[in-house]
Amino acid sequence: MRAILALGLRGEASAAQSLVDCALRHPVDVVEGLAVVAALVRLGGAGRTALHTLAEVHAAQAVRAAARQATKSLQGGPHARDRHPRRGDPAS
């Protein structure tokens, strides 16, 4: 877990695949998988492909959902998480 956190904090794009490999190697450890998602988010655009991979293939539904949400927030730009739903949006 420390390695996951450290890699996320370092922000090195080259860590993305190693983080995905770790999450897929331990598919029943949901907490670890969610930590990997958070670390990939810290990588920004470099983590987008890795997040997409987790969203598609991780065994835990919670990790897949978190990766999908993180991918959407990265696609929306740096302030996507700060936006409020518009009136009439299904999420509002």
pLDDT tens-digit readout, 59-75: 999 999 999 999 998 88
Do residues 72 and 41 touch, judged by C-beta distance below 8 A? no
pLDDT given at position 75: 81
Residue pair 24/43 in contact (Cβ under 8 Å)? The answer is no
pLDDT average, residue stretch 33-55: 94
Instruction: Give CA–CA dist 29/51, Å, rounded.
Output: 17
Phi-psi category of 66—alpha, beta or left, where left has phi over 0 and alpha has psi -120 to 50? alpha
Q: Which pair of tokens denotes residue 79?
A: 């302030």
Q: What is the pTM of this model?
A: 0.79
Number of alpha carbons in the 13 Å side-chain half-sphere of residue 72: 10
